[in-house]
Amino acid sequence: IGFVVTAWGLLTAYVSMAYLWPSKKAIGNGSGKSVTIPLSGIPVGKSRKIRYEGKPIIVVRTAESIFALSAVCTHLGCLVNWNEGDNLIECPCHGAKFDLRGNVVGGPAPKPLESYRVQIKGKIIKIG
């Protein structure tokens, strides 16, 4: 009985410590943590917003490539949208416009959108 109680106590302590102090890998620290989405989840010409490391990002698929950028406007922080007709990422708040590399091409945004690494592996899009 003593052995079972001791083993139970050690297991409970281990689980509690792992919960309270998760490893860097578990919480993501920008060094290897990635997000995957199916290629079919974003038709050509469309976009999708997802969260990456706790931040909103916008993933845009064109006929040529796939781009992943911060979805947070660098002006005052509104969420940007993809405008397929103009081939630009636009902010609905004050009209900032960004190209698919994140560069500011119009409006009041002071800095480009942060861009993220994108890889296509078979039918999977890997970001990060």
Contact 102, 113 (CB under 8 A): yes
Helix residue spans in the chain (DSSP H): 2-20, 24-27
How far, in whole angstroms, is CA 40 from its chain's centroid?
18
Q: Which of 57, 100, 109, 113 binds ligand FES (CB under 6 A)?
A: 109
Is residue 112 at the binding interface for ligand FES, with CB under 6 A as the rule? no
SS (H, E, C) 94-119: CCCEECCCCCEEECCCCCCCCEECEE
Q: Measured from the CB atom, is 43 or 95 closer to ligand FES? A: 95
Joined together, the tokens standing for residue 36 give 């995957």
Assess 76 for contact with ligand FES (CB under 6 A): yes
Is 108 an interacting residue with respect to ligand FES (CB under 6 A)?
yes
Shorter beta-carbon distance to ligand FES: residue 78 or 105: 78
Catalog residues that contact ligand FES under the rule CB under 6 A.
73, 75-78, 91, 93-96, 107-109
